[in-house]
């Protein structure tokens, strides 16, 4: 198969690594790719917002499957463009990706499908939202409706904080519509599942660490580390989450004529009343993919092709035993203004089948490997136990050096 992989982060390096293990793979083109993806195929520098040109490229190269990593091209309809151009794609159409790109739409689908989630009220006018908060006399979780790079949610502690959060988010491009949501309590977990529009195959439950610093302190980021599987989600609870929170959404989207193909990602809180959905994403998470893909034992490319063809066989998913812990190394200044161009050492002789290093924001300069983005590298340790996986990840993560390196020391316990 000839595969076109879209994206340039650690997630895409992990996808390229996994796709390259498939005996079906003939050729891999990464658009635009990064230093990591370049090891498994050809990187093609190309702007992602020119879908017509991308479809032309796919047709010229006789691509059999396009795999889309990031959220923005999905929301912009890149899969619709591929489909119209006769190219099979793994990823949702813009209509199905609205489950991520509009939180109001996600709430609407969840209500229709009877999915347990926090009570919420939607406002297209910030003043009305503020009036509602004042009359309710209680704090609310404030969410911007649109895609906001993980910065669209403020969990307010007081009425005053809620009012300030409304002001802040209403001033952002994603905040034309705001959601006020009741606050839930409990540990968080993410369940990602491959989907062909009708059926789901769930990957091991994962836990992201969104805050920059240890102890869940500091600003929100795209994710500083992931553990999978998480032991507080038993096989029964995982089945319950798929049956009550995910399958009904897939069914509802199908009924609406917007079947969901790709990765459906449910962000959940395990409350005293049971699992509740906080959000849906329409893609692999990053760094979630860096921990989850090494736990898949079978041919992922074959499964993605089957999803795109509407022909998923969920039983073909084989989970590897053991644990994966991914620790993200971020640049100085991340998540605000990351500094670029710091030299990186220690990446060279550390790879074996127990530790994987995924490139996110790196480049090869005249003086060797250097930082080139917010999240620089992801280090995934694999092990029979959580401790073994964590120790392996940290041994390598601590050996890699660059000025201003930021990492959490509490991923996985
Ligand atoms: P989201 O992007 O909707 O997943 O929200 C980002 C983060 O905000 C989540 O990972 C939670 O930590 C927090 N959060 C979102 N919604 C709620 C809620 N209803 N109650 C408590 N915390 C929430
Ligand atoms: N790590 C969070 C996300 O990819 O959405």
Question: Quick check: 249 and 109 in contact, CB under 8 A?
Answer: yes
- Identify the domain containing residue 255 by its residue range: 185-316
Write the CATH number for 282. Answer: 3.30.470.20
For the stretch 57-76, pLDDT in tens is 999 999 999 999 999 999 99
Same-domain pairing of 277 and 330: no
Q: Is residue 246 part of a domain?
A: yes
Q: Residue 19, class by beta-carbon neighbours within 10 Å (0-12 exposed, 13-18 middle, 19+ buried)?
A: buried
Same-domain pairing of 222 and 298: yes
Question: Cβ < 6 Å from ligand 2: which residues?
Answer: 208, 222-223, 281, 285-286, 288
pLDDT at 150: 73
For the stretch 362-387, pLDDT in tens is 999 888 999 999 999 999 999 999 99
Question: Quick check: 122 and 107 in contact, CB under 8 A?
Answer: yes
Structure token pair of residue 336? 């605000």
Q: Is residue 411 part of a domain?
A: no
Query: Which residue has 């000839």 as its token pair?
Result: 2
Q: Is residue 413 part of a domain?
A: no
Distance of CA 30 to the CA centre of its chain: 18
Beta-bridge partner residues of 122: 179
Which band of pLDDT confidence, cut at 50, 70 and 90, is reported for residue 349?
Answer: low
Question: Cβ < 6 Å from ligand 1: which residues?
Answer: 118, 141, 143, 153, 155, 181, 183-184, 188, 210, 267, 278-279
Give the predicted TM-score (pTM) of the model: 0.96
Same-domain pairing of 309 and 387: no
User: From ligand 2's centre to the CA of 100, what distance in Å?
Assistant: 11
| Mean pLDDT score across all residues of the chain | 96
Write the CATH number for 155. Answer: 3.30.1490.20
Q: Is residue 109 part of a domain?
A: no
pLDDT at 350: 60
What is the full DSSP assignment across 317-352? --BPSSEEEEEEEE-TTTTTS-----B-BS-GGG-B
Among candidates 31, 49, 91, which has minimal Cα distance to 67? 91
Instruction: Tell me the mean pLDDT in the region 86-101.
Output: 98
Structure token pair of residue 91? 């990823």
User: From ligand 2's centre to the CA of 108, what distance in Å?
Assistant: 22
Same-domain pairing of 366 and 280: no
Domain count across the chain: 4
pLDDT at 331: 98
pLDDT at 149: 76
Q: Is residue 296 part of a domain?
A: yes
Which band of pLDDT confidence, cut at 50, 70 and 90, is reported for residue 113?
Answer: very high
Same-domain pairing of 169 and 69: no
- Neighbouring C-alpha atoms within 13 Å toward the C-beta of 198: 6
């Amino acid at each position: 198969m000839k595969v076109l992989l879209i994206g340039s982060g650690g997630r895409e390096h992990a996808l390229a690594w996994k796709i390259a293990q498939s005996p079906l793979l003939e050729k891999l083109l990464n658009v635009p790719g990064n230093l990591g993806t370049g090891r498994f195929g050809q990187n093609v520098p190309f702007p992602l917002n020119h879908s017509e040109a991308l479809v032309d490229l796919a047709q010229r190269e006789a691509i059999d499957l396009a795999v889309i990593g990031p959220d923005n091209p999905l929301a912009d309809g890149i899969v619709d463009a591929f489909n119209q151009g006769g190219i099979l794609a793994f990823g949702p159409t813009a209509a199905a990706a609205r489950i991520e790109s509009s939180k109001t739409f996600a709430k609407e689908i969840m209500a229709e499908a009877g999915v347990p989630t926090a009570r919420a009220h939607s406002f297209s006018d910030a003043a009305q939202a503020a009036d509602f908060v004042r009359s309710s006399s209680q704090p609310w979780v404030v969410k911007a409706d649109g895609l906001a790079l993980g910065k669209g949610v403020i969990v307010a502690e007081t009425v005053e904080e809620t009012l300030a959060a409304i002001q802040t988010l209403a001033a952002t491009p994603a905040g034309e519509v705001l959601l006020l949501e009741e606050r839930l309590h409990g540990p968080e977990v993410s369940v990602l599942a491959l989907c062909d529009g009708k059926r789901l195959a769930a990957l091991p439950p994962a836990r992201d660490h969104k805050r920059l610093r240890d102890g869940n302190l500091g600003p929100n980021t795209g994710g500083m580390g992931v553990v999978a599987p998480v032991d507080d989600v038993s096989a029964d609870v995982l089945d319950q989450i798929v049956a009550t929170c995910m399958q009904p959404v897939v069914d509802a989207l199908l009924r609406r004529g917007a079947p969901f193909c790709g990765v459906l990602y449910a962000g959940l809180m395990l409350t005293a009343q049971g699992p509740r959905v906080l959000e849906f994403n329409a893609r692999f998470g990053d760094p979630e993919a860096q921990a989850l893909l090494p736990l898949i034992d079978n041919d992922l490319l074959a499964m993605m092709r089957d999803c795109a063809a509407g022909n998923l066989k969920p039983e073909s998913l084989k989970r590897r035993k053991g644990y994966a812990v991914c620790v993200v190394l971020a640049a100085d200044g991340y998540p605000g203004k990351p500094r670029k161009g710091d030299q990186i050492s220690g990446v060279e002789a550390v790879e074996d089948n127990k530790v994987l290093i995924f490139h996110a924001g790196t480049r090869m300069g005249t003086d060797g490997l250097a930082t080139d983005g917010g999240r620089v590298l992801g280090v995934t340790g694999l092990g029979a136990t959580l401790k073994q996986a964590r120790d392996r990840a940290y041994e390598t993560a601590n050996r890699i050096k660059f000025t201003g390196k930021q990492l959490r020391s509490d991923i996985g316990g």
